[in-house]
């Protein structure tokens, strides 16, 4: 499977990718995007099987990215990895069609719990 990791922080993209490996998901292809707009382009070009996106990014936020994808008819499985996990944001994410939110800081165990059903 191909996973798109979208986060404006280069170090956080590395941490997410490292944690995917530590969680046992090392055999998947990873593509990266530094903001929501780049992620939208990448979804169209790379056709990932899963998007793991930060919420707060320049150019296009994670929730704007999700809305744009769904408005264009794209149903790629989408989850947020974000430092903010308020009830309001969870409700917005679910209403927009996201699977779930993973809050930062996270561990490999969190990734296994949340992603095993999708990534196998």
Partner 1 sequence: MTNDVTTTVEVDLDMIAEQVWSAFLNGGEEETIFAAPDTGAPVDLAASVAMVGAYEGHLVVSCSHKASRDVASVLFAMEPDEVTTDDVGDALGELANVLGGNVKSVLPSPSQLSLPRVSATGHERWPGTVEVCRTVVRWRDEPYVVTLLSGGPSNNAQGV
Residue 113 CA to residue 92 CA, distance in Å, equals 22
Residue 32 or 46 with smaller CB distance to partner 1 = 32
Contact between 95 and partner 1 per CB under 8 A: no
Among 44, 107, 116, 120, binds partner 1 (CB under 8 A): 107
Residue 49 or 84 with smaller CB distance to partner 1 = 84
Contact between 83 and partner 1 per CB under 8 A: yes
Q: If we measure between CA atoms, which residue out of 111, 108, 109 comes closest to residue 100?
A: 111
Number of residues this chain uses to bind partner 1 (CB under 8 A) = 21
Q: Which of residues 32-61 bind partner 1 (CB under 8 A)?
A: 56, 58
Q: If we measure between CA atoms, which residue out of 120, 118, 56 comes closest to residue 93?
A: 56
Residue 77 CA to residue 10 CA, distance in Å, equals 22
């Amino acid at each position: 499977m191909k996973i798109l990791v979208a986060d404006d922080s280069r170090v956080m993209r590395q941490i997410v990718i490292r944690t995917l490996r530590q969680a046992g998901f090392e055999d998947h292809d990873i593509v990266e995007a530094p903001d929501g707009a780049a992620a939208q382009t990448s979804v169209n070009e790379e056709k990932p099987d899963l998007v793991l996106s930060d919420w707060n990014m320049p150019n296009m936020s994670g929730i704007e990215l999700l809305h744009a994808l769904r408005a264009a008819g794209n149903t790629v499985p989408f989850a947020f990895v974000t430092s903010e996990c308020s009830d309001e944001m969870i409700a917005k994410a679910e209403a927009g069609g996201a699977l779930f939110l993973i809050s930062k800081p996270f561990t490999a165990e969190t990734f296994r719990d949340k992603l095993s059903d999708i990534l196998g």
